[in-house]
Structure 1
Amino acid sequence: MRSFLAIDVDNPLKDKIIEVQKILDEANAQLKFVEPENLHFTLKFFGQINNNMIKELSRIIKEKIGSYKPFKLKIEGIGVFPNKNYMRVIWLGAKNPKKFSEIQKAFDEQFSKLGFKKEKSYIPHLTIARVKGGKNKDKLLKKIEELENIQIGEMQIKELKLKKSELRPEGPVYTTIKTFKL
């Protein structure tokens, strides 16, 4: 099964994120928005793995997670991957993500011992849309620039979730396999 380790977005912040998506939609560009129930920060994407690997990952997460306490994360700012000339992903950023990055790096190190490739340069981000074509790119860039300093809000990070991803024609469906409390 396709799996990843994630931090879900708090419900109160989802309404503000939907507002941002509506503003971007005004550009009438070719965008596929992430559904509110699918909004998350990915700590690590594992790809296709089997049940034995799920057990190994769960064991490692349980061992390491006790080292961390809940922390606050601010969601603000907007950006694109890979760049403004060739946009594929529109994302919201994490302000002062020191603790977030520390956790990601520590888990990435542990997961590499199981054969997973280490992240080269991890940027904490929340994907809100995928760009499916170049229609109205200039209008879209203008909307992104208008939202450059957007403040979504702050959330308390209390848990990590191991999730599976099922790709369906109508879009991905994410299901929580296991929740790990900080």
Structure 2
Amino acid sequence: MRTFLAIDLDSELHQKVIEIQKKLKETKADIKFVTPENLHFTLKFFGNIDEKQLNEISNIVKKSIEDFHEFELHLKGIGVFPNKKYIRVIWIGVDNPEYFIKLQKKLDIEFNKIGFDLERDYVPHLTIGRVKTARNKDRLIKKINELENVTVGSMKVKELSLKKSILRPEGPKYKDLQIFTLSK
């Protein structure tokens, strides 16, 4: 099964993200937007795993988060991967990434011990759209520059979700396999 570990976007912030997506839509660029129910921060993408790996991952998350507690995330700014000359992914950034990165690195090191590659240059981000073609690229870049410092809002991170990704022609569907609660 195709899986990943994530932090779901607080539903109270969905509308603000939708408003940003609408502004990007006005550029008439060829963008496939992430649906509100699929908005999340990926901590680790595992790809296809079996039941044994699922159990190992679950045990690692349970043990690793013992040292972590709930934390606040401030969502601010629009960015792109890999760069503005060749935009593939449009995302919203995190204004206070230190604790988030500390959590991700701790998990990543533990996942590496069971055979998963370490992440390089991890950047906490919320993917909001994927660019399919270069249509209206200049208009898109102009709009991204305008939104570069947009403030989205804050959310309290209380849990992590181990998710199964089901690929469908109309877009992926995510199903929670397990929820891990951070201490208060």
With normalisation by structure 2, the TM-score equals: 0.98
Q: Could you tell me the percent identity over the aligned residues?
A: 57
Q: Which amino acid aligns with 1:20?
A: I
**1:66 partner SS:** helix
Ranges in structure 1 where 5+ consecutive residues have no aligned partner: none
Residue 7 of structure 1 corresponds to which residue in structure 2?
A: 7
The one-character-per-residue Cα deviations of 1:38-89 (angstroms, maximum 9, x if unpaired) are: 0000000001101111111101111111111100000000011000010000
Tell me how far 1:168 sits from its aligned partner: 0.5
Distance 1:121 1:28 in 2: 31
Residue 81 of structure 1 corresponds to which residue in structure 2?
A: 81
Q: Which amino acid aligns with 1:51?
A: E
Q: Which amino acid aligns with 1:21?
A: Q
Residue 21 of structure 2 corresponds to which residue in structure 1?
A: 21
Which residues in structure 2 correspond to 1:24-103 (within 5 Å)? 24-103=24-103
Structure 1 runs, 4 residues or longer, greater than 3 Å off: none
Tell me how far 1:117 sits from its aligned partner: 0.2
Distance 1:91 1:60 in 2: 28
Ranges in structure 2 where 5+ consecutive residues have no aligned partner: none
The question of 1:113 aligning with 2:96 is answered: no
With normalisation by structure 1, the TM-score equals: 0.99
Distance 1:84 1:65 in 2: 35
